Amino acid sequence: KNEVEQSPQNLTAQEGEFITINCSYSVGISALHWLQQHPGGGIVSLFMLSSGKKKHGRLIATINIQEKHSSLHITASHPRDSAVYICAVRTPSSNYQLIWGAGTKLIIKP
Amino acid sequence: KAGVTQTPRYLIKTRGQQVTLSCSPISGHRSVSWYQQTPGQGLQFLFEYFSETQRNKGNFPGRFSGRQFSNSRSEMNVSTLELGDSALYLCASSLGPDRDYTFGSGTRLTVV
């Protein structure tokens, strides 16, 4: 079993829909990152969380440390949100090395 | 403020050759980490440097090596290239090991 599991692997939705991507982890963490990767390769860091909730524009990220679970929400989704969303956790036990989820490929249709 | 700069953007090499990739972090960032991304394996951690010292190393063979200079710029070197080394190599910089990252655009290496 991977230490960081994301679901779903693939998600196709219509423009305007509310999107939720989930991330569960099985290790102790110091922080959790949500990142976005567009076709062509560039990766953008969206959020770094260690507790609670963060919001940036239409993106909201939450984390529940007790349940070892995080969610990324996109409100009023738009075709430009189409990308791969990756969850990664930092683990003090491995010298703060990042452990990556496999990513969720999101396609928003107009 | 300049972002993380990786050079070159694209590279084609022949099996058996060696290659050096460069990463210039954001000014003031002292931590640089390297990742390999392939379609089959996803993102794999290569190594992380902080203030010229390697802090972490992933599970890659000794053909993969790196270093960081006093100005925080980092290089990674792959010797005796194999076809399986074809990948997107990404570098990320941060102020420190437990801080948020900024990624470069990557170097796409093709080994033929």
Per-residue pLDDT reduced to its tens digit, B11-68: 999 999 999 999 999 999 999 999 999 887 788 899 999 999 998 888 899 999 999 9
Q: How far is A50 from chain B (nearest CA, A)?
A: 11
| Tens digits of residue pLDDT in A1-52 | 689 999 999 999 999 999 999 999 999 999 999 999 988 778 999 999 999 9
From chain A residues 47-106, the ones with a CB under 8 A of any chain B CB are 48, 86, 88, 90, 94-98, 100, 102-103
Give the best residue of A34, A96, A104 to mutate against chain B (max B CB count within 10 A): A96
Whether B60 contacts chain A with CB within 8 A: no
For residue B26, what is the DSSP state?
Answer: P
Instruction: Indicate if the pLDDT at residue A74 is higher than 70.
Output: yes
Rounded distance between C-alpha atoms, residue A102 and residue B60, angstroms: 19
How close A29 gets to chain B, by Cα (Å)?
11
pLDDT band of A98, cuts 50, 70, 90: confident
Residue B1 confidence class, pLDDT cut points 50, 70, 90: low
Average pLDDT for chain A = 93
How is B78-92 classified by DSSP, letter by letter? E-S--GGG-EEEEEE
Written as six digits, the tokens of B35 are 């990742």
**pLDDT of A96 over the 80 cut:** no
**What is the DSSP annotation of chain A?**
--SEEEE-SEEEEETT--EEEEEEE-S--SEEEEEEE-TTS-EEEEEEESSEEEEETTEEEEEETTTTEEEEEESS--GGG-EEEEEEEEEGGGTTEEEE---EEEEEE-
Residue by residue, DSSP assigns B38-82 as ETTTEEEEEEEEETTEEEEE-S--TTEEEEE-TTS-EEEEE-S--
**Predicted pLDDT of residue A105:** 96
User: Can you tell me the mean pLDDT for A81-100?
Assistant: 88
- End-to-end C-alpha distance for chain A, whole angstroms: 36
Which pLDDT score, from 0 to 100, does residue A95 have? 74
Q: What is the pLDDT of residue A1?
A: 63
